[in-house]
Amino acid sequence: MGRILKTAACLITGVALASTAALGTIPANAATRCDVTFTTYQPIKAGSHGAQAKAMECLLHKAGYPTTVNGRFSAADAQELAKFRKSIGLNPLLLGGRRAWSALLSRGTTPHLQAGDSGKNVLRLQLALRSAGFVKIPIKGRYSAATARVIKVVQKSQHLKRTGEVNAEFWKRLQAGKIIATTVIVKKPVPKPVSKAPKTHTKGEKALAFAKNQLGDPYIRNAAGPNGWDCSGLSMKAWKAAGVSLPHSAGRQYRIGKKISKSNLRNGDLVFFYPGIKHVALYAGNGNVIHAPHPGKKVQYIKMKYMPYMGARRPA
């Protein structure tokens, strides 16, 4: 684990060096490496000392601010921190918390990242999100399924399309300190009055809810999750989440359950397309279905009218 953390520190340093702000040249006595990998990131202010204080000093130095890099965060260092905060649109406070940490750690280019990618840019992303409070994100420099799950949570909180991928807009918000974990903390639900009966869901709605959570995942031939799907793999696992077993085949799924007319479709019903029953999707209301289309595409919504309808079934 120690070797991984040292590698992470070296990688993120390279990124920081390559993206020095246009505020001025880094002073000659700037530290050559910022050790920035921590389990949690503490707020830094004047009087803070130790490894995290030094990391904040180092990151600011590499961003073009003349801080000392000695592990003793001074009042002068705090003033430079306030200048950095102001430069990215934050209140010019003399305190570096989650917003400042994540903005400093994410500085640099804004490459498109997705599952399967690896390298210093993925590591820079992971460190920035860890410092922003997303403690479940791994810091390994590999864009894993765990990383994609955190990205989807952030995208939901930021009202972005839940693709599980990182684009320039995502980087822009991260570099401006606009993404922190407190924005996605789910509040404890208030207990419902005893007099009210609990809301029930059909199996079809449970299946549809599962499919919605896979939106943005890639199509992979013969795959049935967790990070890629073909059409019948998605419908099979969606209905399995509702407690119903289906075969991994659109043609065989067509022979299971109750036949449903197009006018009586309900959420989660299986809708089949193309002569020979070559494609299956889950009905999502208003003439839409969710499906895994074909290689090169991702799980998405589509209007039923765009594909040749062959019938529908309700497995349970």
CA–CA distance, 101 with 90 (Å, rounded to integer):
12
Is residue 231 annotated as a catalytic residue, yes or no?
yes
Catalytic residue among 34, 58, 61, 291: 291
CA angle 187, 123, 175 (to 5 degrees): 65
Is residue 291 annotated as a catalytic residue, yes or no?
yes
3-state secondary structure the chain: CHHHHHHHHHHHHHHHHHCCCCCCCCCCCCCCCCCCCCCCCCCEECCCECHHHHHHHHHHHHCCCCCCCCCECCHHHHHHHHHHHHHCCCCCCCEECHHHHHHHHCCCCCCCECCCCECHHHHHHHHHHHHCCCCCCCCCCECCHHHHHHHHHHHHHCCCCCCCCECHHHHHHHHCCCCCHHHHCCCCCCCCCCCCCCCCCCHHHHHHHHHHCCCCCEECCCCECCCCECHHHHHHHHHHHCCCCCCCCHHHHCCCCEEECHHHCCCCCEEEECCCCCEEEEEEECCEEEECCCCCCECEEEEHHHCCEEEEEECC
CA–CA distance, 201 with 292 (Å, rounded to integer):
24
Catalytic residue among 159, 231, 248, 294: 231
Catalytic residue among 112, 248, 279, 294: 279
Residues that are catalytic: 231, 279, 291
